[in-house]
Structure 1
Amino acid sequence: MAMPVNADVAPPATPSIRVSRVFPWVVFTLTFGLLLSDYMSRQVLSAVFPFLKEEWGLTDTQLGSLTSIVALTVGILAVPLSLVGDRWGRVRSIVVMAVVWSLATLGCALAAGYGHLLAARLFIGVGEAAYGSVGLAVVLAVFSARRRASLTGAFMAAGSFGSVLGVALGGVLAVQFGWRWAFAAMGIFGLVLAGLYLATINERKLAAHRVDDNADTGPALAAGQRRARLTTLFSTPAVVFAYLGGGLQLFITGSLFAWLPSYFNRAYDMAPDRAAKVAALFILIIGAGMVVCGLITDRVGQTRPTGKWTTAIVFATLTLILLGAGFAVQPGGAQMLLLALGCFFAAGTTGPTGAMVARLTHESIRATAFGTLTLFNNVLGLAAGPLVTGALADRLGLETAMRYVPLAAVIAVVLLIAGRQAYPSSIRRLEPATATEARDGDTA
């Protein structure tokens, strides 16, 4: 059976399309906006927990399942749906995904009970599963490679900002108009952005604005080869260490997202609403740190080939030291300062690891590569962190459990150091391996 033509790669740049310096930033802005919508739709649920508990009499386990079903679905479907995005066309895939999660969010507003709401949340996960990977691949394709860490950090920071907006706006809307309108507003916002994306961006414009740098563009393809083989997603030790190290570092971030409100409630005896507001501030600090750490990484990476690995190691080490000290001291001003500094670096590895995965995989399967990174980020980090920390809290108490969370950075640092050591040899292996695979494929 003939392989379908990849609409994302096939169309050449044509003279009728004027190359603009503004268009790449339009792509970034709209793609970033949809990731905001993604996390607003995902996290608005937290703002309506009290309303659902009162109206439907749900248990905490049921409420928790409504959250975990999205992360679980994203982890399972990230890679296969990212592969679909690479082969079917990334812009088309982005629009379809946004429509699916937005309609599913509207479905939450119409839910008649727990079962209906759980099903709607599952479809939110289906829509969101590959968005981060496909959206990031679109953004990186129209910018120079020297900006990869900055753009990756800034783009993924939309998850933090969207989480804060979803909880804050959802809470206001739920109080003023009822919890159903909190979901409805998020769904409508996503549909509007999806329509704007479809009207503004298409595959031909992306092809015309695609940046092909002479260096740091990923492994080359052999003559006649149109797409890298999927085996190249794991073809070097360095890229595997990037997946593992980045995912384990996000174990800390996932725990902070889920448990900071409860920590401030219990350790500082704050009212739930005030604890949520304070936690939201720390989540914003995490997002700001992702942006700044990405900028730092690109600056360092310009002078040293392994600079991106070095910055990732430094960020993970600072997280271990600052959060480890923060959760070890007594509640108070000193703890707040240490936690704020630790949060700033907690997700700082996102930009470096994303840039390293981009360097070690070919652009033709880059969305699938980021989908693989998303799989590790969710399974090892964003999903595992809250679950393991919760289990520890049941046995030891939340304050004690949070002292163990920063220790995940120890394993992350070890993996990142191993990746840094393997990086030069991995780069040397890439192009010969790719060329050999292509020849084997031609003779098979």
Structure 2
Amino acid sequence: MHINAPSPPSKSSPYARYVLALLLGVNLLNYIDRQVLYAVFPLIQHDFSLSDTALGLLGSGFMVTYMVSAPLFGWLGDRWSRTRLAAAGLGIWSVATAAAGLAPTYPALLTARTTVGVGEASFGTVSPGLLAEFFDRERRGRILSYFYLAIPVGSALGYLLGGVIGQQWGWHAAFMMVGLPGLLLVLPVWLMREPPRSADAALEQNDNPDNGGYRALFRNRSFIANTLAMAAMTFALGGLAQWIPTFLYREHGLSVSTGNTLFGGLTVVTGICGTLTGGWLGDRLQRRTPKGYLLVSGWGFLLGTPAAAYAILTPSLNHCLGGMFLAEFFLFLNTGPLNTVIVNVTRPAVRAMAFAVNIFFIHALGDAISPTILGRLSDIWGLRTALLSTPVAILVAALFAFVCCHSIEGDMAKAE
């Protein structure tokens, strides 16, 4: 089923900027609702007397649902209204986040968090490709960097709000207060105009299903290498995001509120600076070479690896925070560039599917498993040793980014 929507305004028009602002706002709530769980980990663990493994399962349960739902929404996104899917997803995850605040038991909390994954999968698969169609190709790196500012800013707000609200009124209140505001944006997203699908995209889907389906993506070497780079990065960032606040609480003696405030502050500053710098550098370098986005990401991973290892190993709190600052800055360089690579190497007819496949694999191999793996390693060897697996994963991400450089030019030409 194809949606015959009216033609949207010209690219980069005031309405296009409104769409960017609206989707950025929704994405902010996305990451606030996702990260607030990690801010209140110690409080949940105390109330339910959980092991680190059971605690990690709360994060992994969300990610498993998120990645399993993504392929379905990717298929729907290339055939149905992307704005409707995004609005429905926002409503589902907002209600589920608020419901987590009412959970009286660990199984009830786990159920609520896994439901959040369904809503976020609907939004996450369709929104990047939808947004990219409102802007010219030459600006996509910067535009998607703006959109993905929600990762550091939303994550930081999740830590800050979760830490402060949780410390003052308990973790139940934290979930309730960050979940309900999303319902206010459901209607604006539902009413948002959608770019019509191009004639070429329709022909690909109707006349040549093989070219317009998932099978084509697995023959795209750049898409595969880029996805594996993002999966290794997601393994590392997922583990760090979930466990660093607890690491600061245990290893450096900080309170829940102070640890989350410090980590949230670092994340928002480095995230904004790193994400915007990565988008700007990527667009500039991409004008000189088709490998531009990948070179920015690969070198960011390489520089972030030793910084992350030092932050984990040093016994000094100040040195830990300094190393974390550098590690996060270099890691956030990749956010806009690697997502722009997905857009540039896939045809419009399969773009929502491409993000769906990407979401599935980066989480299946990344943060769907890393929180529980790190939790298990922490139960055996301690949290500091467990966290050392993350710099290794970042190094693997750099390797795949550089491997992708070998096929990117040809795959971009095919997508055009």
Q: TM-score, normalised by structure 1?
A: 0.82
Q: Deviations over 1:85-117 (max 9, x none)?
A: 221110010111111112222322333433333
Query: Cα distance 1:71–1:19, how it changes in 2: closer, same or farther (>3 A)?
Result: closer
State the identity as a percent. 28
User: How far apart in 2 are the matches of 1:54 and 1:273?
Assistant: 15
User: How far apart in 2 are the matches of 1:190 and 1:24?
Assistant: 21
Aligned partner (choices 138, 146, 149) of residue 138 of structure 2: 146
Query: Is the 2:345–2:408 Cα contact (8 Å) retained in structure 1?
Result: no
Letter in 2 for 1:408: A
Q: Greater CA deviation, 126-135 or 318-327? A: 318-327
In structure 2, the partner of 1:11 is 5
What SS is found at the alignment partner of 1:87?
coil
Query: Is the 2:345–2:414 Cα contact (8 Å) retained in structure 1?
Result: no
In structure 1, the partner of 2:214 is 230
Letter in 1 for 2:215: T
Letter in 2 for 1:379: A
Query: Is the 1:389–1:405 Cα contact (8 Å) retained in structure 2?
Result: no
In structure 2, the partner of 1:27 is 19
1:171 Cα offset (Å)? 4.1
Query: Is the 2:302–2:395 Cα contact (8 Å) retained in structure 1?
Result: yes
Query: Is residue 36 from structure 1 mapped to residue 28 from structure 2 by the alignment?
Result: yes
Counting matched residue pairs gives 413
Query: Is the 1:252–1:346 Cα contact (8 Å) retained in structure 2?
Result: no
Q: Deviations over 1:375-420 (max 9, x none)?
A: 2221222233333333433343333333342122332222222210
1:237 Cα offset (Å)? 1.1
Q: Greater CA deviation, 418-427 or 90-99? A: 418-427
Query: Cα distance 1:263–1:128, how it changes in 2: closer, same or farther (>3 A)?
Result: same
Query: Cα distance 1:53–1:323, how it changes in 2: closer, same or farther (>3 A)?
Result: closer
Query: Cα distance 1:66–1:21, how it changes in 2: closer, same or farther (>3 A)?
Result: same
Query: Cα distance 1:271–1:171, how it changes in 2: closer, same or farther (>3 A)?
Result: closer
1:121 Cα offset (Å)? 1.9
User: How far apart in 2 are the matches of 1:58 and 1:267?
Assistant: 19
1:202 Cα offset (Å)? 2.6
Aligned partner (choices 299, 304, 314) of residue 299 of structure 2: 314
In structure 2, the partner of 1:242 is 226
In structure 2, the partner of 1:422 is 407
Q: Deviations over 1:105-143 (max 9, x none)?
A: 232233343333322222111111232221111111101
Query: Cα distance 1:322–1:428, how it changes in 2: closer, same or farther (>3 A)?
Result: same
Structure 1 residue ranges (4+ consecutive) displaced by more than 6 angstroms after TM superposition: 17-20, 222-227
Aligned partner (choices 241, 262, 267) of residue 283 of structure 1: 267
In structure 2, the partner of 1:122 is 114
User: How far apart in 2 are the matches of 1:241 and 1:190?
Assistant: 35
Query: Is residue 363 from structure 1 mapped to residue 357 from structure 2 by the alignment?
Result: no
List runs of 5+ in structure 1 lacking aligned partners: 432-444
Query: Cα distance 1:20–1:416, how it changes in 2: closer, same or farther (>3 A)?
Result: closer
Query: Cα distance 1:426–1:211, how it changes in 2: closer, same or farther (>3 A)?
Result: closer
In structure 2, the partner of 1:163 is 155
Letter in 2 for 1:202: R
Q: Greater CA deviation, 352-361 or 55-64? A: 55-64
Q: Greater CA deviation, 159-168 or 307-316? A: 159-168
Query: Is residue 384 from structure 1 mapped to residue 378 from structure 2 by the alignment?
Result: no
1:181 Cα offset (Å)? 3.7
What SS is found at the alignment partner of 1:39?
helix
User: How far apart in 2 are the matches of 1:326 and 1:176?
Assistant: 29
User: How far apart in 2 are the matches of 1:320 and 1:46?
Assistant: 23
Higher-Rg member (1/2): 1
The 5 Å alignment of 1:255-274 reads 255-274=239-258
Q: Deviations over 1:49-83 (max 9, x none)?
A: 45545655555554433332111111211122222
1:158 Cα offset (Å)? 0.9
Query: Is residue 185 from structure 1 mapped to residue 177 from structure 2 by the alignment?
Result: yes
1:253 Cα offset (Å)? 1.4
1:175 Cα offset (Å)? 5.3
Aligned partner (choices 171, 193, 203) of residue 202 of structure 1: 193
1:293 Cα offset (Å)? 1.2
User: How far apart in 2 are the matches of 1:410 and 1:58?
Assistant: 32
Query: Cα distance 1:165–1:234, how it changes in 2: closer, same or farther (>3 A)?
Result: same
List runs of 5+ in structure 2 lacking aligned partners: none
Q: Deviations over 1:286-325 (max 9, x none)?
A: 5222232122111211222221121121111111233234
Query: Is residue 67 from structure 1 mapped to residue 59 from structure 2 by the alignment?
Result: yes
